[in-house]
Amino acid sequence: MSPTFLYTVEVILNGLMAGVMYALVALGFVLIFKASGIFNYAQGVMALFAALTLVGIQQGQVPFSHLINAVFGTDIHHFGWTVPTLLAILLSLCVMILFAWLVNRLILRHLVNQEPIILFMATIGLAYFMEGLGDLMWGSDIKRLDVGLPSGGSFWLEDVTAGWAAEGSEYYGMYIDLLDVWATMIAVTLVIVLTLFSQYTKTGRALRAVADDHQAALSVGISLKAIWVIVWSIAGFVALVAGIMWGAKLGVQFSLSLIALKALPVLMLGGFTSIPGAIVGGLIIGVGEKLFEFSIGPMIGGATENWFAYVLALLFLVFRPQGLFGEKIIERV
Partner 1 sequence: MNLKTLATAAMVTVMGTSPVLADLVFPSLSYRTGPFAAGGIPFADGYADYFTLLNERDGGIGGVPVQVPECETGYNTEKGVECYESTKGLGSLVYQPLSTGITYQLIPKASADGIPIHSMGYGRTSAANGKVFEWVFNYPGTYWDGAAVMVQHAKDQSGGSLEGKSIALLYHNSAYGKEPIRTLEELAKVEGYNLTLIAVDSPGQEQKSQWLQIRRERPDYVFFWGWGVMNQVAVQEAANIRFPMENFIGVWWSGSENDVLPAGAGADNYKSLAMHNTGSDFPIYADIQEYVVDKGLAAGAGDQIGTVLYSRGLYAAMLAAEAAKTAQEIHGVADITAAQMRDGMEALEITEAKMEALGLPNFGPEFSVSCANHSGPGLAAIQQWDADSETWTIITDFMAADRTVIQPLIEEDSKAYADEAGITPRDC
The alpha carbons of the chain give a radius of gyration, in whole angstroms, of 22
SS3 24: helix
38 vs 137 by CB, closer to partner 1:
137
209 vs 261 by CB, closer to partner 1:
261
Whether residue 77 contacts residue 71, with contact meaning beta carbons closer than 8 Å, is answered with no
Least distance (Å) between residue 8 CB and partner 1:
11
| Nearest CA-CA partner of 112 in 40, 39, 36, 43 | 36
253 vs 322 by CB, closer to partner 1:
253
Residues lying near partner 1 in the complex (CB under 8 A) are found at 7, 10-11, 14, 18, 66-67, 69-71, 73, 77, 131-132, 135-136, 139-146, 151-153, 170, 172, 175, 177, 246, 249-251, 253-255, 257-259, 262, 289-290, 293-294, 297-298, 301-303, 305-307
Side chain identity at residue 226, one-letter code: A
1 vs 196 by CB, closer to partner 1:
1
48 vs 100 by CB, closer to partner 1:
48
Phi, psi of 191 (to 5 degrees): -65, -40
Whether residue 231 contacts residue 88, with contact meaning beta carbons closer than 8 Å, is answered with no
CB atoms within 10 A of CB 151: 13
Least distance (Å) between residue 258 CB and partner 1:
6
The three-point CA angle 319-289-19 to 5° equals: 90
Least distance (Å) between residue 73 CB and partner 1:
7
Least distance (Å) between residue 171 CB and partner 1:
9
Least distance (Å) between residue 236 CB and partner 1:
21
